[in-house]
Amino acid sequence: MQDPLVSVVVLTYRPAWAKLAGTLLSALRQKDIAFELVVTDDGSEDTLQARARAFLEREGFPSAVFLSAERNEGTVRNFLRGMRAAKGKYVYAISPGDFFYNDTVLARMTAFAEARGAEICFGNAVFYFRRPDGTPVLPPDRPLAPCRPELYNDPRPGAQKAAFFFLDYILGAAYLRRRETAIRYTEKILPLARYAEDTPSTLLAIGDGIPVHYFPGKVVWYECAEGNSSGGNERWKRILAGEYRAAYEQLRAEHPGDPYVRAARRYRYEKEEKEPVWKQGLRHPIVVWRFYRRRGFPVRMNEATEENRQALAAFLKEADRLAQADRMR
């Protein structure tokens, strides 16, 4: 049997059934693409995998791969476990509560990657949260991640570094990556990160000159917290910040002479308060170039259109119905 072109790796930890069922349903609806499902759990007391397996079989998809850790090891190891068991040329990681935007996302994004020879690419997310009554809300004041995705249309290493190193990060749920590349860089960050599998690995990849390609389309409904934050408490934010810093230190060790690395590290970590751009520019002219380059691209905001809201509401209604019917079995 021919290996699938894409492996969809569903990352779970203490999943809610309705969210997991919706994520699986959005994957099952992908068409015009040969893909596999790998569901990997990071040490949950109840993985819900027996229920998920039965759900997939009833929906006509009996061949999913299920993996689980005996104890919680963190997102990085969970993702690596799933990728090592996968067989696809490309890998797309997704978590419960996040859903593929429509039924052609995987096919179109993979065709884009194949045409470009891309090892790493990403698309746009549509952010949403649900009110207590289940009504979906698309916050209009939420910037995309990255907020200026068109910066990545420039394949030159310097342009890519200027975009990513200065904190215009890419949302992890919007990546499609070549599996071998994703494994290589995820293995590199094992000593550095426990939870942040996306930004540290991409940081090191871009540092090595691997270009990131922007797929100009919506790829995922991404569940966010109400308001302008992705959620999480201050302790969680400190943990992620520490993992990002460890990745920057590794980047500096690997590329000590790279002017972009030096400029980004000073901009981010060597001053408690950010200096004016002109002062930064005296030390690192790249900072000024980066500042003016950003001015040429407007910040892209969440597409909080009525069309999107209705499409998401219709999908959630169907996913909730199937999840509720499954609970009653």
Distance CA 129, CA 297 (A): 27
Burial of 9 (0-12, 13-18, 19+ CB in 10 A): buried
Residue 53 structure tokens: 């397996």
pLDDT confidence of residue 272:
46
Q: Could you tell me which residues come within 8 angstroms of residue 201 by beta carbon, excluding any fewer than 6 positions away?
A: 182, 185, 186, 188, 189
Q: What does the block give as tokens for 175?
A: 């990546």
Distance CA 86, CA 129 (A): 31
For residue 71, what pLDDT is reported?
96
| Strands 120-130 and 136-137, sheet pairing | antiparallel
pLDDT of residue 285: 62
The pLDDT, as a whole number, for residue 135 is 95
User: How far, in Å, are 27, 203, 239, 244, 260 from residue 89 at the CA level?
Assistant: 17, 22, 32, 27, 31
Give pLDDT tens digits along the chain (329 positions).
Answer: 578 999 999 999 999 999 999 999 999 999 999 999 999 999 999 999 999 999 999 999 989 999 999 999 999 999 999 999 999 999 999 999 999 999 999 999 999 999 999 999 999 999 999 999 999 999 999 999 999 999 899 888 888 898 898 767 899 999 999 999 999 999 999 999 999 999 999 999 999 999 999 999 999 999 998 644 455 578 888 999 999 999 999 999 999 999 889 888 877 776 645 566 556 666 666 666 666 666 778 889 999 999 999 999 999 999 999 988 776 66
The answer to whether 130 touches 82, Cβ cutoff 8 Å, is no
Two structure tokens written together for 293: 């380059």
Tell me which DSSP letter residue 181 carries: H
Provide the pLDDT for residue 163: 87
Cα angle, residue 328 at apex, residues 36 and 66 outer, rounded to 5°: 25
Per the CB < 8 A criterion, the answer to whether 96 and 20 are in contact is yes
The 3-state DSSP class for residue 290 equals: helix
Report the CATH fold assignment for 6-231+299-327: Spore Coat Polysaccharide Biosynthesis Protein SpsA; Chain A (3.90.550)
Whole-angstrom Cα distance, residue 124 to residue 145? 8
Domain boundaries, the chain: 6-231+299-327
- Output the pLDDT for position 2: 72
- Report CA 22 to chain centroid distance, whole Å: 18
Quickly list H helices, 156-223.
157-165, 179-188, 199-207
User: Concatenated DSSP letters for 234-271?
Assistant: HHHHHHHHHHHHHHHHHHHHH-TT-HHHHHHHIIIII-
Question: Is residue 34 within 8 Å of 4, Cβ to Cβ?
Answer: yes
Q: DSSP state, 301?
A: B
Please tell me the predicted confidence (pLDDT) of residue 228.
Answer: 42
Report whether 179 contacts 38 (CB < 8 A): no
- Is the C-alpha dihedral spanning 202, 207, 211, 216 positive or negative? positive
Q: What is the CA radius of gyration of the chain?
A: 20
Res 292: pLDDT = 62
pLDDT at residue 293 in the model: 66
* pLDDT reported for residue 233: 76
H or E segment and range at residue 6: strand 6-12
- Can you read off the two tokens belonging to residue 85? 């068991």
Question: pLDDT tens digits for 117-172?
Answer: 999 999 999 999 999 999 999 999 999 999 999 989 988 888 889 889 876 789 99
> CA 293, CA 159: separation in Å to the nearest integer?
9
